[in-house]
Chain A
Amino acid sequence: MGDQRTATPDGAGTAPRGLGRRRFLGYVLAAPTLVVAAQFGEAVLAPDRAQAAGIGVPEPSEIFDLTDMLTTAALPTSGLISIQLNTDGTATFALPRAEVGQGITTSSAMLIAEELDLPVADVRITLADARPELLFNQLTGASNTTVSTYTPIRVAAATARQRLLAAAAAQFGVPASTLTTSAGVVSSPGGQSASYGSLAVAAASLTTLQLTVTLKEESAFSVIGTPQNRIDALDIVTGRKQFAMDLVVPGALPTMVCRPPTINGTVVSVQNLAVVQAMPGVTDVAVIPTGVAVRAQTFGQCIDAVRALLVTWGPGTEDDATDATVLRELQAAQLPFAVPAVNLLAETVEASFSFAFASNSALEPNCAIADVRPGQAVVWGAMKSPIVAQGAIAAALGLPTGAVTVHVTEGGGSFGRKLFFDAALEAARISQAMGKPVKLMWHRTDEFRQGRTHPMSIDSVRATYLLGQVLTFEQRHTSVATDFSHGLGEVITAMVAKLPVGDIGFSETIFELSQQTPYSFGVTTQLLSEVDKGFNTGSMRNIYSPNVRCAQELIVDQLAAAMGQDAYAFRRANLTDPRAVAVLDKVAQLGSWGRTMAPGTAQGIAVHPEYHSVAAMLVEIDCTPATVGRQVPDAYTGPRVTKVVCAVDVGLAVNPLGLQAQMMGGIMDGIAVALTSGLHLENGVFQEGSWDNYFYTRQWNVPPELQIVVMPSASTTPGGAGELAVASAMAAVACAYGRATGTMPTSFPINHSAPLAFVPLPTVPPIPQSPTDGLTSAY
């Protein structure tokens, strides 16, 4: 058994530095079988980035970024996370994060398997209910999960292994130091062996103990850093994986909401409530703050009822707004450039870019199950901020927080949408109003029209140069306000005094902490201003970065051209971080940068550092008329990205296969926001109402060639990955498009100003009826 001396993460006593860095305090909790625990959030990562900062004054995000903030926020307040060893030899762990496809259940299982010497297949990961005692440490966002859980999970697993060794030593009558562990079995040199399952009771403790454990050296890793398939892959391909709407909760019948024709419109009156109440299958109709809810035996009957409702609607919050009015509002709010006049001989490159509203809707729509009874409530849903959800639901229902149980289900995608808990709150209100359990699901059309959006923004850049040197680089990002009230805001409230950004608001803090100029461009300033809080907004994968990076890289191409330099060589010469240079070199080499391309086709290249990681993209695009004009029914085709080469350095890549998957997804997102995916606002209504209106990347937009290289890294700690690829992918696509067409694009997505490629669905009734011709289109 380990000694009782307290070790600190940065080395205690006379331990060599390498060892001290790996010694931590673990806990054995009082329980019938072995339950081990560790402080959550212990793994603050001292940023070693200061040395990577370039010349001039480092931007705040170079020395302390959003990743550090979320990691540090956990330090003083976090509770314990625990792993249970079961008598069947498996280990179970309730991860206090949301799995939405990013692969953190798999990577967490790998961390446990590594330190415990247990096969990954014997580790069971579930998602923890809302745990208010974790305070800030149950938010899934900002690509922070692996960064903040990497050490605590391993400490708990190592504690378990140490206890199992001690139990086996007692059983075998030999010193623990002579024993070895492998694949869930403890063995002695004399040939004795015991499975973890057989030791699970003996290794348990009647009282809670502390012990010091030593983590494995990175060089001894046999699981971490190896490609691992998703632990839920079999459940997925057989249809067994359960999402919120697949759960069976007694009495929770399908429920939908008839929503207003304009954003945030309100119910004035319902003309035919009794008629709708009597429709086939319908059990309940209730007016709630966001519309009129109907509950029925099937969702099909809910759709019928929603469509039948005759509602008088009050105005919404943005009834007069169109794309053009919002654009003018943004232009009026843009902060001025600040750098004083430079050398009169300096030349200037300057441009403004606009980025349309975009939808962060996942394929699984907003949905939740709620069972609200007098004095208590239980809610199920995919929520990335369950603690905030619990508090908000309790307040809405008039219940104490402790009376609300929030079960976190696995989500069918998030992309920022599930940072909020709109469906859970709405479901709870409906359940309370009807006095019955409900299974609430948003219709797809509502997802686009009333769901949260990535806000419209403009971005202006002005750069000056002289004699082959960039002297100044100024960027002004002006955006419709992003709603961060899902809990990231609370982290910042608590942290703001400690941050190197001074006393500024939430959004500005996020911006300051996430945005970097990776290039050494002299006097560099990047500022955010926000307008108009009447929209339902939220973060979309990679928040501000795709638009900011896109604008920046397009200007970098302009600067290189103006100075007669190659776009890759110019970037390389001005990059300050060797990791950024390495990924840029890698894609230039693998992608044959500069190769001769046919007219109408071209390459683009871009790099993006964030989350203590860095990614580079080389893209080839085909903008020839034959390609742009290719026809797919009910689709937008347009320019085709024909090839993407990506190189990524996330430090220690826990699961390279999962990392490549995240990069692939981010690349598809980057292609979408550059070329095809935007929302058109017209008189307070987003025109898009289906996936054949909102053009997320489809198979006919997919690059036939894709190569993703995971770079070896000198770093022994993991950086963030889930959102990393979007910014550089979008920027590289935009740069390639500009080069192929000879005109720098300034409006995104590039198809946004073209005539609508679809006929908008009606707004009353708010959702369309399902088709009836499904048999004729079978193939």
Chain B
Amino acid sequence: MPEQTFILNGEQVSVDIDDDVRLLWVLRDVLGVTGPKYGCGLGVCKACTSHINGQAFNPCSVPVGDLQPTDEVTTIEGLPATVGQELHPMQQAWLQYDVAQCGYCQPGQIMAAVATVLKARAAGHEIGDADFDEIRNICRCGTYVRIREAITAASANF
């Protein structure tokens, strides 16, 4: 069976599994990294949103064989280390605004939020309603308004 190698939350990992198994299952079922959640397996709900080389992506839609050994995958578990803190400012804002209800979508929401802020910043504008309207992550508990408030607050802090 092929050996798959990539960097996960700062550590080089290797897994023996077929190329076409999607990364989400490698993370959850093989490596036991359960922050990224399954909500559809179709790249739609975005509950598994994580980062690859600093950009938001959905591991449910990436065959593990597509990863290079130098690709850096960051899940919610590895997010604080990207800023060298106990918690990323986005996580802090999530606590401050008590965003979560059931919490199932929130790791993905936070990872998407960080990328959305960085994307707006790269495009040279402050984050606002138009950016929020582009976030596709489902929250079936309907915490959307607090998500917007928390992102706005966090965007000044990283």
Chain A contact residues, CB within 8 Å of chain B: 100-103, 229-230, 232-243, 245-246, 248, 254, 280-281, 297-301, 303, 361-365, 410-413, 415, 441, 443-445, 632, 634, 657, 661, 664-669, 690-692, 696-700, 702-704, 706, 768, 770-775, 777-779
**Partner among A245, A298, A665, A768 whose Cβ is within 8 Å of the Cβ of B30:** A298
Q: Is the CB of A239 within 8 A of B104?
A: no
Q: Across the two chains, which residue of chain B brings its CB closest to A227?
A: B98
Question: Hey, what's the 0/1 contact readout for B80-105 against A, CB within 8 Å counting as 1?
Answer: 10000001000100110010111111
What are 13 sample pairs from A and B whose C-beta atoms fall under 8 A apart?
Answer: A229-B98, A230-B101, A234-B95, A237-B100, A299-B28, A363-B39, A363-B45, A363-B141, A364-B104, A365-B38, A665-B141, A704-B129, A770-B22
B147 CB, nearest partner CB in chain A, Å: 8
Q: Is the CB of A237 within 8 A of B145?
A: no
Q: Is the CB of B140 within 8 A of A413?
A: yes
Q: Is the CB of B133 within 8 A of A699?
A: yes
Q: Is the CB of A239 within 8 A of B35?
A: yes
The 7 closest A-B pairs by CB, nearest first: A239-B35, A668-B142, A101-B102, A412-B104, A774-B61, A236-B103, A774-B62
Contacts of A778 in B (CB 8 A): 52, 55-57
**Is B5 engaged at the interface, CB distance under 8 Å to the other chain?**
no
**Partner among A103, A696, A699, A772 whose Cβ is within 8 Å of the Cβ of B63:** A772
In the complex where A237-B94, A237-B95, A412-B102 touch, is A696 in contact with B138 (Cβ < 8 A)?
yes
Q: Is the CB of A661 within 8 A of B98?
A: yes
Q: Is the CB of A669 within 8 A of B26?
A: no
Q: Is the CB of A241 within 8 A of B138?
A: no
Q: Is the CB of A238 within 8 A of B77?
A: yes
In the complex where A239-B107, A300-B21 touch, is A411 in contact with B102 (Cβ < 8 A)?
yes
**Partner among B38, B135, B147 whose Cβ is within 8 Å of the Cβ of A441:** B38
Q: Is the CB of A254 within 8 A of B41?
A: no
**Is B8 engaged at the interface, CB distance under 8 Å to the other chain?**
no
Q: Is the CB of B52 within 8 A of A775?
A: yes
**Is B143 engaged at the interface, CB distance under 8 Å to the other chain?**
yes
Q: Is the CB of B58 within 8 A of A298?
A: no
Q: Is the CB of A100 within 8 A of B102?
A: yes
Q: Is the CB of A233 within 8 A of B62?
A: no
Q: Is the CB of B146 within 8 A of A661?
A: yes
In the complex where A239-B75, A772-B63 touch, is A690 in contact with B40 (Cβ < 8 A)?
yes
B120 CB, nearest partner CB in chain A, Å: 11
Q: Is the CB of B104 within 8 A of A699?
A: no
In the complex where A444-B45, A771-B61 touch, is A699 in contact with B136 (Cβ < 8 A)?
yes
Bound: A236/B39 CA distance, A: 16
Contacts of A443 in B (CB 8 A): 41
A527 CB, nearest partner CB in chain B, Å: 32
**Partner among B18, B20, B76, B132 whose Cβ is within 8 Å of the Cβ of A238:** B76
In the complex where A412-B104, A441-B38 touch, is A702 in contact with B87 (Cβ < 8 A)?
no
**Partner among A101, A444, A657, A700 whose Cβ is within 8 Å of the Cβ of B39:** A444
The CB with the most chain B CB atoms within 10 A, among A235, A363, A441, A632, is that of A363
Q: Across the two chains, which residue of chain A brings its CB closest to B109?
A: A237
Q: Across the two chains, which residue of chain B brings its CB closest to A304?
A: B20
Bound: A444/B32 CA distance, A: 21
Q: Is the CB of A298 within 8 A of B42?
A: no
Q: Is the CB of B144 within 8 A of A691?
A: no
The CB with the most chain A CB atoms within 10 A, among B95, B104, B137, is that of B104
Q: Is the CB of A772 within 8 A of B61?
A: yes
In the complex where A413-B141, A668-B144, A779-B119 touch, is A774 in contact with B58 (Cβ < 8 A)?
yes
B19 CB, nearest partner CB in chain A, Å: 10
Q: Across the two chains, which residue of chain B brings its CB closest to A100?
A: B102
Bound: A241/B103 CA distance, A: 8
Bound: A167/B45 CA distance, A: 54
Q: Across the two chains, which residue of chain B brings its CB closest to A705?
A: B145
In the complex where A412-B104, A699-B133, A778-B52 touch, is A233 in contact with B94 (Cβ < 8 A)?
yes
A763 CB, nearest partner CB in chain B, Å: 16
In the complex where A362-B140, A664-B142 touch, is A632 in contact with B133 (Cβ < 8 A)?
yes
**Is B127 engaged at the interface, CB distance under 8 Å to the other chain?**
no
**Partner among B21, B56, B115 whose Cβ is within 8 Å of the Cβ of A298:** B21
**Partner among B21, B43, B100 whose Cβ is within 8 Å of the Cβ of A771:** B43
**Is B126 engaged at the interface, CB distance under 8 Å to the other chain?**
no
Contacts of A239 in B (CB 8 A): 34-36, 75-77, 107
Contacts of A364 in B (CB 8 A): 37, 39, 102, 104
Contacts of A698 in B (CB 8 A): 136, 138
**Partner among A243, A245, A690, A704 whose Cβ is within 8 Å of the Cβ of B44:** A690
Q: Is the CB of A699 within 8 A of B100?
A: no
B46 CB, nearest partner CB in chain A, Å: 9
**Is B11 engaged at the interface, CB distance under 8 Å to the other chain?**
no
Contacts of B62 in A (CB 8 A): 772, 774-775
Q: Is the CB of B87 within 8 A of A237?
A: yes
**Partner among B34, B94, B119 whose Cβ is within 8 Å of the Cβ of A246:** B34
Q: Across the two chains, which residue of chain A brings its CB closest to B88?
A: A237
Contacts of B143 in A (CB 8 A): 661, 664-665
Bound: A234/B94 CA distance, A: 9
B70 CB, nearest partner CB in chain A, Å: 14
A10 CB, nearest partner CB in chain B, Å: 36
Q: Is the CB of B43 within 8 A of A770?
A: yes
B133 CB, nearest partner CB in chain A, Å: 4
Q: Is the CB of B119 within 8 A of A696?
A: no
Q: Across the two chains, which residue of chain B brings its CB closest to A644?
A: B145
B121 CB, nearest partner CB in chain A, Å: 13
Can you add 13 more A-B contacts, CB < 8 Å, to A239-B36, A700-B133?
A233-B98, A298-B17, A300-B20, A361-B140, A363-B37, A363-B104, A365-B39, A666-B142, A699-B136, A704-B129, A772-B20, A774-B62, A779-B115
